[in-house]
């Protein structure tokens, strides 16, 4: 009696504009500008150049505001 091995496929990450799509979700800035910034930063990191971490963190922290939630919060108060 021989047992067959089942091949489990690895999870495939969805890419958008050359970077993983999860990094472009819910951004206030355009997806292309965020993708360019990520690529630029990674290239500078690989080359050993100086990276202003505070500026990078500020730019990546900008998220879309959810207008529907802000309206409901105002009504509840």
Rounded CA-CA distance 59/29 in Å is 9
Give the residue among 1, 26, 2, 24 at the shortest CA–CA distance from 13. 24
pLDDT digits (tens, 9 = 90+) for 11-54: 899 999 999 999 888 888 889 999 999 999 999 999 999 999 99
Predicted confidence (pLDDT) at residue 70 exceeds the cutoff of 60: no
Predicted confidence (pLDDT) at residue 77 exceeds the cutoff of 60: no
Q: What is the 3-state secondary structure (H, E, C) of 18-40?
A: CEEHHHCCCECCCHHHHHHHHHH
Higher per-residue pLDDT: 20 or 77: 20
Torsional sign, CA 30, 33, 39, 44: negative
Supply the pLDDT for residue 73.
Answer: 62
Supply the pLDDT for residue 64.
Answer: 81
């Amino acid at each position: 009696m021989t047992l067959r091995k089942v091949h489990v496929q690895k999870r495939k990450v969805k890419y958008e504009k050359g970077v993983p799509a999860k990094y472009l979700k819910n951004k206030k800035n355009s997806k292309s500008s965020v993708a360019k910034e990520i690529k630029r930063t990674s290239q500078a990191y690989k080359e050993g150049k100086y990276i202003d971490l505070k500026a990078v963190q500020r730019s990546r922290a900008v998220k879309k505001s959810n207008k529907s939630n802000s309206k409901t919060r105002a009504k509840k108060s």
